[in-house]
A and B are shown apart, each in its own frame.
Chain A
Amino acid sequence: MLLEVAKAGEIAPGGMKFVKAGEREIVVCNSDGRYYAVDRRCGHMSGPLEMGALDGTIVTCPMHHVQFDVTTGEALNRPVPEYIDEPLPGRWAEYMKHFGTLMANTSVCNIKTFPVKVDGGAIQVEID
């Protein structure tokens, strides 16, 4: 099913737009004038990718800095651990230790990509 998700020119080069298309949440990326569409949710912990950064064809998740190639959906790295140089108060220290264990056991999956077509002034995405 081909859906119009944006007007050409609506997304600046280097920009991204979150679109809800039926049950799908997707992000349309403008990589130097070429458009790509990917699943909105990061393949690590489902962070909203449109709130991250797009550089060339690489999007970086705002949560743990996992990167994906928007042309293929391929995950390019593992999450980058946060470093906190001050001791945390008791319960927070326990929580962060627990969270760290979860993070270490959370795999990073590739994200889905969707075919994009620019027809006249409309950007359309093929949603399955």
Chain B
Amino acid sequence: MNVESRKRSLRYFFAKVVEPLGYKFTPDAELAEYLLEQETHLEEKHGSPFCPCQGLTQNHEANMKIVCPCIPFHREHFDYMKRCWCGLFVQKDVSDPDSLPQISYEEFRKAKDASGSGEGR
């Protein structure tokens, strides 16, 4: 498999999924290329382009929730950060992705609980 060709096809399909969700590829082109490359390696090894920044477990259902783009499974959390966990996607209005901190799910829950609402996972 040619990694560059696969990256192009993943870009093609991912863009169709994330666009209606209000997201786009990060403007950090170097980061996007790096993350996509890691995903092609994970896909080669495991059969699906899993998020390169989240660990696989023995739980198939949980693993399926980190197949890129995993935004629909973590919508409220990622909307809160304005980016997905690894940063491959950011919300459409974001122009400076470096300004967006990676906030753990626990921190996010605490913040949501403090404000009186939260999402189940």
Q: Which A residues contact B (CB, under 8 angstroms)?
A: 55-56, 58, 67, 69, 74-81, 83, 85, 108
Q: Which B residues contact A (CB, under 8 angstroms)?
A: 1-2, 5-6, 9, 12-13, 43-44, 47-48, 60
**Known contacts A79-B47, A80-B48; A74 and B2 CB within 8 A of each other:** yes
Residue of B nearest to A78 (CB): B44
**What is the CA–CA distance of A73 and B1 in the complex, to the nearest angstrom?**
12
On chain B, the residues within 8 Å of A56 by CB distance are: 12
On chain A, the residues within 8 Å of B48 by CB distance are: 80
On chain B, the residues within 8 Å of A55 by CB distance are: 12-13
On chain A, the residues within 8 Å of B47 by CB distance are: 78-81
Q: Is the Cβ of A85 less than 8 Å from the Cβ of B60?
A: yes
**What is the CA–CA distance of A17 and B85 in the complex, to the nearest angstrom?**
41
Q: Which of B1, B43, B44, B60 contacts A83 (CB 8 A)?
A: B60
Q: Is the Cβ of A77 less than 8 Å from the Cβ of B12?
A: no
